[in-house]
Amino acid sequence: MSFEFAVDPKSIFFRCVEDSGEAIMISDTQGTLVYVNPAWCKAYGYTKEEAIGSSPKLLHSGHQPQEFYQEMWRKILNPSVGTWKGELVNKAKDGTLVPVQLTITPFKDDDQQIAGFMGIAANMSYQKELETKITHQDRLASIGLLASGLAHEVGTPLGVIRGRAEFLMMQTDNPTMTKNLELITSQIDRISKLIRSLLSISRSVSELNIQTLNLHSVAEEIIDLVGQNLKEDSVQITMEIAENIMIKADHARLQQVFLNLIVNSIYAIKKDIEQGKKRPHFLKISALQTGSQVDIRIQDSGCGISPENMKKLFKPFFTTKDVGEGTGLGLAIVAQLMREMGGKISVESKLNEGTTFTLGIISGQSY
Ligand SMILES: Nc1ncnc2c1ncn2[C@@H]1O[C@H](COP(=O)(O)OP(=O)(O)O)[C@@H](O)[C@H]1O
Ligand SMILES: [Mg+2]
Summarised one tens digit per residue, pLDDT across range 295-305 is 999 999 999 99
Residue 265 pLDDT grade (very low, low, confident, very high; cuts 50, 70, 90): very high
Given a cut of 60, is residue 4 above it in pLDDT? no
Residue 195 has pLDDT above 80, yes or no: no
| Ligand 1: nearest atom to the Cα of 333 | 17
pLDDT at 362 over 80: yes
* Distance in Å, CA 264 to ligand 1 centroid: 5
Would you state the pLDDT for residue 204? 52
Question: Are 119 and 135 within one domain?
Answer: no
- Ligand 1 close to Cβ of residue 37 (< 6 A): no
Ligand positioned closest to the Cα atom of 329: 1
Are residues 258 and 242 both part of a single domain?
yes
pLDDT value at 183 more than 90: yes
Has residue 1 got a pLDDT over 50? no
CA 269 and chain centroid, separation = 23
Q: How many domains in the chain?
A: 3
Q: What DSSP character marks residue 208?
A: P
Euclidean distance between CA atoms 360 and 294, whole angstroms:
6
Range picked from 174-183, 311-320, 357-366 for highest mean pLDDT: 174-183
3-state SS assignment for residue 267:
helix
| Average pLDDT value for residue range 311-337 | 87
- Residue 47 confidence (pLDDT): 96
Kindly report the CA angle at 78 between 52 and 34, in degrees rounded to 5? 10
Which residues, in sequence order, are bridge partners of residue 356?
A: 299, 348
Whether residue 185 is found in the same domain as residue 246? no
> Mean pLDDT, to the nearest integer, of 169-192?
92
- Closest residue by CA, ligand 1 atom 12: 313
**pLDDT value of position 2:** 45
Mutate to test the pocket of ligand 1, among 260, 319, 329, 351 (most ligand atoms within 8 A of CB): 319
Q: Give the span between the Cα atoms of 145 and 112, in whole angstroms.
A: 61
Assign residue 85 the CATH number of its domain.
3.30.450.20
Is the CB–ligand 1 distance for residue 303 below 6 Å? yes
| Domain identity same for 228 and 366 | yes
Q: Which of 331, 345, 353 to mutate to test the pocket of ligand 1 (most atoms within 8 A of CB)?
A: 331
Mean pLDDT of 113-140: 80
In a domain, 85, yes or no: yes
CB 329 within 8 A of CB 201: yes
What confidence score (pLDDT) does residue 280 get? 85
The average confidence (pLDDT) of the chain is: 87
Kindly give the distance from the C-alpha atom of residue 269 to the centroid of ligand 1, in angstroms, as a whole number: 11
pLDDT tens-digit map of 51-84: 999 999 999 998 888 899 999 999 998 888 888 9
Query: C-alpha distances in angstroms, 105 versus 17, 121, 139, 281?
Result: 14, 12, 39, 61
- Closest ligand (CA of 349): 1
- Whether 171 is covered by a domain: the verdict is yes
Query: Of the candidates 366, 344, 347, 343, which has an alpha carbon nearest to the alpha carbon of residue 357?
Result: 347
Distance CA 26, CA 43 (A): 15
319 lines ligand 1 (CB under 6 A): yes
Banded model confidence at residue 86, pLDDT cuts 50, 70, 90: very high
In terms of domains, do 216 and 355 share one? yes
Q: Are 96 and 155 members of one domain?
A: no
Pair (110, 147) in one structural domain: no
Q: Are 319 and 328 in contact (CB under 8 A)?
A: yes
Distance CA 15, CA 117 (A): 19
| Average pLDDT value for residue range 159-175 | 94
- Let me know whether 232 and 357 are in one domain: yes
Which residues are CB-contacts of 18 (< 8 A; sequence separation ≥ 6)?
A: 37, 38
Say if residue 169's pLDDT is above 90. Answer: yes
CB 77 within 8 A of CB 83: no
Q: Which domain holds residue 40?
A: 12-123
